[in-house]
Amino acid sequence: MKLRRLLASAIFILTFLYIFPLFMSEPIFLHTFFTLFIFAAIAQAFNLIAGYAGYLSLGHTVYYGLGMYVAAIVLKSMVQMDVYSSLMLAYLAGGIAAAIFGLVTSVPLFRLRGATFALGTLGIAEFMRVLFQQYWMGMGGSSGLFLHVSSPNKVIFYSIALTLMLISVLTAFFIRKSRFGLALLSIREDEDAAEVLGIKTLNEKLKAVAISAFITGVCGSVMASYTLYVAPEIAFSLLISLQMQFMPIIGGLGTIFGPIIGAMILVVTDEIFTTITKGAIYYGLGTLLYASTMLLIMRFLPEGLWGAYSSRRRRAFLRASKKFKLDARHDRACP
């Protein structure tokens, strides 16, 4: 019953979102929604490894940046192909490159846990940033790489990003409901106990990293084909990496709706504050308000908006079940 209601509302919202550009094709709306969808997809992918498996990676931007660069190279070398097939190829290549990179670097890094794992991933991202600042293989160095290729209009990108977000949400949903997801959750709760129970923890973690890196890499390549400019500073920066983590954390880590809500809050507040403070004149005022808002949210709702909401609901359910002598153990975690 509950699932059916969820499904109906999801289909309604999706249909609305897909036909949205038909009656609202202002570039600013399309751009904001495009950013929102891409960020939501990234947040969802990041949530797989940080929220479910409990491994915070401070260098998740490395997959995003790698996707960007690989897509840029593919797009540059495939100019003679038609637009859509070269785009598809670029996205696939970006995703696969990121996934392979994630697997290769994660095998040694997964020997670390907690803070040291976070710092190790940060180191890898920083190393990649420095590496791509050098002038090699026609990468453009630190001044970046401009892509002079034809690209579709904003409406097409809007639907690409929406589809990407849909795919990543569905992936997260099915993983959450599967045995694999349960294995990841058990790794988050207690890795040694999970290992004892017979879960091949390294394998499960590597699977999660591969999926997460693939989605993030595809997001990066979509972004590269949208902005038609890649640079080490926008691809591998610590700032981007930290901002990626905001969304699932603000929304609620380890939940399915959390990252989407987080991305929504993040992108919309950023746009609003940049607009009302006239970003170009008082540069920095927008960032100030935005960071203060995030700080207040984190200060008073440390488990995120959706996390706080769902845990309150769960607590209410537990109280009610105590009242009616129901067995609280059958309580399912909210999605």
Partner 1 sequence: MSQLELDLIVQAIVCGLLLSGVYLLIALSKSLVYSVIHMINVAIGWFMMLGGYIAYFLYQWGVDPLISTPLLIIPSFFWIGLIFYICIIKPSIGKAFLPQIVMTFNVALIIEALATLFWTADYRVVSPPYTRKSLDLFGIKLPILYIIIFIVGITTIISLHLFLTRTYMGCAIRCVAQNREGARIVGIKVEKVEMIATSISTTLAGMSGALLAMLTALTPNIGAAWTVLAITITIIGGLGNIYGAIPASLILAVMHTTLPFIIPAALSHGIGVLLMIIILLIRPSGIFGLKARLM
Under rule CB under 8 A, residue 276 binds partner 1 = no
HEC readout, 301-335? CCCCHHHHHHHHHHHHHHHHHHHCCCCHHHCCCCC
Under rule CB under 8 A, residue 199 binds partner 1 = no
Structure tokens at 47: 């949530």
d(CA 69, CA 233): 12
Min dist. Cβ of residue 103 to partner 1 (A): 16
> Distance between terminal CA atoms of the chain?
15
Beta-bridge partners for 146: 229
Q: Which is nearer to partner 1, 110 or 229 (CB)?
A: 110
Rg of the chain (C-alpha set): 21
Under rule CB under 8 A, residue 134 binds partner 1 = yes
Under rule CB under 8 A, residue 185 binds partner 1 = no
Q: Are 119 and 59 in contact (CB under 8 A)?
A: no
Question: What is the CB neighbour count within 10 angstroms for residue 301?
Answer: 15
d(CA 204, CA 216): 18
Q: Which is nearer to partner 1, 151 or 287 (CB)?
A: 287
Residue type, 269: T
Query: Using the rule CB under 8 A, which residue among 103, 167, 298, 334 binds partner 1?
Result: 298
Under rule CB under 8 A, residue 193 binds partner 1 = no
What does 71-124 look like in DSSP terms, one character per residue? HHHHHHHTTTS-HHHHHHHHHHHHHHHHHHHHHHHHHHHTT--HHHHHHHHHHH
Query: Using the rule CB under 8 A, which residue among 24, 282, 312, 328 binds partner 1?
Result: 282
Under rule CB under 8 A, residue 104 binds partner 1 = no
The interface region with partner 1, picked from 105-113, 161-169, 194-202, 218-226 by CB under 8 A, is 105-113
Query: Using the rule CB under 8 A, which residue among 81, 83, 100, 112 binds partner 1?
Result: 112
Under rule CB under 8 A, residue 170 binds partner 1 = no
Min dist. Cβ of residue 92 to partner 1 (A): 29
- 109-112: list long-range contacts, CB under 8 Å, 24+ apart: 110/55, 110/202, 110/205, 110/206
E strand or H helix at 128, and its extent? helix 114-132
Min dist. Cβ of residue 261 to partner 1 (A): 15
Min dist. Cβ of residue 72 to partner 1 (A): 20
Min dist. Cβ of residue 251 to partner 1 (A): 12
Q: Which is nearer to partner 1, 118 or 194 (CB)?
A: 118
Under rule CB under 8 A, residue 49 binds partner 1 = no
Under rule CB under 8 A, residue 130 binds partner 1 = yes
Q: Which is nearer to partner 1, 26 or 189 (CB)?
A: 189
d(CA 2, CA 164): 25
Q: Which residues bind partner 1 (CB under 8 A)?
A: 50, 56, 58, 108-109, 111-112, 114-116, 118-120, 122-124, 126-127, 130-131, 133-134, 142, 237-239, 242, 245-246, 249, 253, 282-288, 290-292, 294-295, 298-299, 302
